[in-house]
Amino acid sequence: MTLTVGTPDGLDAALLDVAREWLPERRWFPAKGTRADLELVGSLPLADDVRVLLVRARAGSIDAVLQVPLVLTAASPDAADAAETPDTPDPTVVGRVGDRVVRDGAAHPAFVAAWLAVADGPGADVDPGTARAVSGEQSNTSVILRATPDAPAPAAILKVLRAVAAGENPDVEVPRRLVEAGSTDVPAPLAWLEARWPDGSGGTVQGYLGAMSAFVEQAQDGFELACDVARRGEPFDAAARELGAVVAGVHAALVRAFGTDDATAPGDGPEQVAAAVANRFSWATSAVPQLARFAPGVDAVVAEVRALPAAPPRQRVHGDLHLGQVLRSGSRWFVTDFEGEPLAPLAARTRPDLALRDVAGMLRSLDYAAAVGGLTGPQAQAWTDSARRSLLDGYAAAAAPQADVDAAARAVLLRALELDKTLYEAVYESRNRPTWLPIPLAGLERLAG
pLDDT tens column, 149-188 = 999 889 999 999 999 999 988 989 999 999 999 999 999 9
Q: For 314-345, give one letter per residue: b (16+ CB within 10 A) or e.
A: bbbbbbbbbbbbbbbeeeebbbbbbbbeeeee
219-448 belongs to CATH 3.40.50.720: no
Count of helices and strands (H, E) across the chain: 13, 17
Q: Is the pLDDT confidence value at 266 over 50? A: no
| Per-residue model confidence (pLDDT) at position 1 | 86
CA 15-96-69 angle, 5° bins: 45
What is the tens place of the pLDDT at every residue in 210-257? 999 999 999 999 999 999 999 999 999 999 999 999 999 999 999 999
The pLDDT of residue 86 is above 70: no
pLDDT at 58 over 50: yes
* Residue 81 pLDDT exceeds 60: no
Q: Which helix (H) or strand (E) holds 222?
A: helix 222-231
Portions of the chain given CATH number 3.90.1200.10:
219-448
Percent of the chain whose predicted confidence (pLDDT) is above 70: 93
Over range 65-81, report the average pLDDT: 81
- Mean pLDDT, residues 315-325: 96
pLDDT digits (tens, 9 = 90+) for 283-315: 999 999 999 999 999 999 999 999 999 989 999
Summarised one tens digit per residue, pLDDT across range 95-114 is 999 999 999 999 999 999 99
pLDDT tens track for 115-152: 999 999 999 899 999 999 998 767 899 999 999 999 98
Question: d(Cα 381, Cα 424) in Å, to the nearest integer?
Answer: 21
H or E element, residue 378:
helix 377-397
Q: Rounded mean pLDDT of the chain?
A: 92
Query: Under 8 Å CB-to-CB from 395, ≥6 apart: which residues?
Result: 244, 245, 247, 248, 359
* Higher-scoring residue by pLDDT: 34, 255: 255
Whole-angstrom Cα distance, residue 164 to residue 103? Answer: 20
107 in Cβ contact with 131 (< 8 Å): yes
**Of residues 69, 404, 84, 366, the one with CA closest to residue 222:** 366
Question: Is the pLDDT at 78 greater than 70, yes or no?
Answer: no
* pLDDT at site 282: 98
* Res 131: pLDDT: 97
Please state, as a whole number, how many other Cβ atoms lie within 10 Å of the Cβ of residue 103. Answer: 23
pTM of the full structure: 0.84
Contacts of 391 (CB under 8 A, 6+ apart): 240, 241, 243, 244, 247, 359, 362, 363, 366
Q: Evaluate whether 106 touches 69 at the Cβ level (below 8 Å).
A: yes
